[in-house]
A and B are shown apart, each in its own frame.
Chain A
């Protein structure tokens, strides 16, 4: 019997004109957590698609327990007990948790589904691994963390031994990430093997035994985590040293740019307010960060601030002008730039070309139109300038369909558009979500450059590393309220965590000390 449960040896996969996987070897040991590390576009997903039979490689072979196997489609992979939790979950939103788990392998007698049997098995698995789910809740009603547990249970229900997690932490809160790491350790104790695809180095250092690194389709090597460091891994991945600490100049505080007074926003899912009586100011030359766990009113607040939704109470002034009732276009003209949370829903018209998206906020300016006619030449020139300046990579330059670009480059396009537009305030909502270290470093530099040049930045982030690194001042939001203000130089991640979880409040007593209250997204299922 071989030491390895799955081996992908010398895999080569070519797409017309390009080499997506160039002689890549990946060997997964029984009972280990093996990380697969690489930037966006390094070939990780292609390699996994080969393992799942979605692509046939031009070269190389796949072995299971030392035996050469042929995988022609995902069903073959399933028969070899390989399961995967995709980055974007593959769940039927209007089905219950139980229905989703048994979908495709429903136990039946004479064609009648035996739900009780499935329920028994699911609950047994749920208890055994501490994967709390409500089997009768609809997927659309449960939190993202629970959806992921459903995906994991799907693999377990199918008795998979080799579990692949594709960027599993991108959608989770810090607490949920810790839980996931614990669950993964339980699996390996059971003898299951885990392949963990990610570009977050902290998680690899915390959870993985070994790590295989890819760069631009090439195999860079496999290292033992205990003999390696974050710096070494990032050098292997990016090909250069990455600066984790953001360099900032001495702060030069200027005038108040944004003045938020007693803003409340009505909730769309319950009778109360999603944002409660929020007041703060952002001044020129500072990065103010609004931190908090997802679903604590940040999204609703930003929508009210940027004009996407109405606020129920309060007022907002930008550069001394009251913008409470202003249209989105006029807020933009007054000096607001907005990097939206959801780049596909709000940030881009995906079927427009890159150049069309780069002028999405400015196409009406005299520079890009005259008497209603688009100045194509000027837009092209402007797009080329931004592409060059912000290093936006795409297949065909300005005429690339935005949909076909990688997530990192889509985000860069939005950042370029919003920063290059004349503005006084930059509202950046999770600007680095789902990006690799190279792109994160780049976007952080841009935010700091804004601040150093005397701009005001309001950063909304869930990543505590980002919060601590980039901001000058931190406000923590919990259940729609500001519960504390901090200086990143004097606070700690642990302290912020307590406030983010609602265990502490600078402005009033917290009654149930240490008890986490249900988040907005979880409240909905009870109503």
Chain B
């Protein structure tokens, strides 16, 4: 009964959190005196549903989110906070665009290049953490800016990456489209999905992201490598005691997290949805990976769903503009909904307590089970949660 109960509690808790978020979001709309709040909420909630033209957008926008979510989540699992996903995303994007626009490489070579670029950008914070115990958060933030400036300067100074190179009236503040550069093969294949979903940017990207999420799950849960990485994250002293090379694992963990963010850049720009703009603004995609990972408690398969959920809310939010809601107000409403979704665990814990499933005992010692008469030898101990000192 326990497993059934637990999963139904999770489901109820998820529904309560989301409904609470929607209600508060609705409250915000009423409070600011927005146009027809109920209709706006309806648009927010239905635009991204399957069958609507925007459903494709939900999916192709989810693909890079899955990747940055995986990047942050993977690092979390190994005890590191990768706030550098943005920089890794930017460097990855640059390498993909460089290979695609200048060297006219096929899409998969660009993608591998992006992974390598992100990996290099993840290596530095990992290296400094492992050998000099410099907090990875500080290094990652600095590398976000170093990456951004370096990439912008490079793109501005590599003419074949800019539209002006191919057409005299082309602009110079963003990169050229793959078609313009004469390398449509640099775009991720559509494999008919663009027609199926009625969206020109829909392609194999989301499938690649989901496959990579499964791969990350396999690495973390089925391999000795993942076993070592998680052990280092959960208890570094015990891993060192067990002969695990903690320094190597910290670096590898950041390298892999960086590669995942790099692929996010490839999935985003090689879908054709947008061109890399030369502007001094950190890529938000990297930071959006943080709530994606947190909502899924860093579970790689959960990240697929949390990324789709956040993409769904974002797409619905964009559609609200037709009722003259400003993008800032929409951002607040989306933030409120995501914020409340994070209450899921609180609600779940509360429900479990009310129903009495929570067996946590404030004692560090377990209490014994007294077996029914006649089975006295079958004494087993229950599991009290140890109180953290």
Contact = CB atoms under 8 A, between A and B. Distances in A.
A46 B364 contact: no
11 contacts: A41-B365, A41-B367, A46-B367, A217-B370, A363-B224, A369-B223, A393-B379, A393-B381, A396-B383, A401-B383, A406-B381
A287 interface: no
Interface residues of B, number: 40
Given A349-B235, A361-B242, A374-B222, A17 B369 contact: yes
Interface string A196-217: 0000000000000000000011
A346 B239 CA distance: 8
Contacts of A44: 365
Interface stretch (A29-37, A273-281, A324-332): A324-332
Interface stretch (B294-302, B329-337, B355-363): B355-363
A161 interface: no
Contacts of B366: 40-41, 395, 404-406
A19 interface: yes
Contacts of B357: 16
B242 to A, nearest CB: 5
Nearest to B232: A349
A77 to B, nearest CB: 14
A347 B362 CA distance: 23
Closest 8 CB pairs of A and B: A329-B243, A20-B367, A395-B383, A404-B383, A45-B363, A346-B241, A328-B243, A18-B369
B380 interface: yes
Interface stretch (A227-235, A350-358, A458-466): A350-358
B5 to A, nearest CB: 12
A40 B365 CA distance: 7
Interface in B335-362: 356-357, 359, 361-362
A375 to B, nearest CB: 10
Contacts of B109: none
B227 A394 contact: no
A493 interface: no
Mostly, the B contact residues are loop
Contacts of A369: 223-224
Contacts of B368: 18, 20, 41-43, 216-217
B224 A374 contact: yes
B382 interface: yes
A350 B227 contact: no
Nearest to B219: A372
Contact of B238 (A217, A345, A373, A403): A345
B230 to A, nearest CB: 8
A88 B361 contact: no
Contacts of B365: 40-41, 44-46, 406-407
Given A15-B361, A350-B386, 13 more contacts: A20-B368, A43-B368, A88-B389, A216-B379, A338-B241, A345-B235, A349-B239, A360-B238, A372-B225, A393-B379, A393-B380, A404-B384, A405-B381
Interface of A: 15-22, 40-46, 49, 54-55, 88, 216-218, 306, 308, 327-332, 338, 340, 345-352, 356, 360-361, 363-364, 369, 372-374, 376, 393-396, 400-401, 403-407, 409
A16 B359 contact: yes
A18 B243 CA distance: 40
B225 A16 contact: no
Interface string B249-288: 0000000000000000000000000000000000000000
Contacts of B235: 345, 348-351
Given A332-B243, A372-B223, A395 B381 contact: yes
Given A332-B243, A372-B224, A374-B222, A18 B367 contact: yes
A364 B224 contact: yes
B19 interface: no
Contacts of A395: 366, 380-383
Contact of B234 (A18, A340, A351): A351
A49 B363 contact: yes
A308 B224 contact: no
Contact of A394 (B356, B383, B386): B383
Nearest to B389: A88
Contacts of A19: 367, 370
Nearest to A394: B381
Contacts of A332: 243
Contacts of B234: 349-352
A501 B255 CA distance: 52
Contacts of A407: 364-365
A328 B382 contact: no
A323 to B, nearest CB: 13
Contact of A328 (B230, B241, B362, B385): B241
Given A41-B366, A406-B365, A374 B243 contact: no
A318 to B, nearest CB: 15
A369 B228 CA distance: 13
Contacts of B356: 16
B62 interface: no
B320 interface: no
B133 interface: no
Nearest to B357: A16
Nearest to A359: B227
A116 B79 CA distance: 45
B381 A409 contact: yes
A15 B382 contact: yes
A346 B242 CA distance: 8
B238 A349 contact: yes
A400 B241 CA distance: 22
A523 B370 CA distance: 49
Contacts of B146: none
A348 B357 CA distance: 27
Contacts of A49: 362-363
A403 B357 CA distance: 18
B9 to A, nearest CB: 15
A340 B241 contact: yes
Contacts of B237: 345-346
Nearest to A396: B383
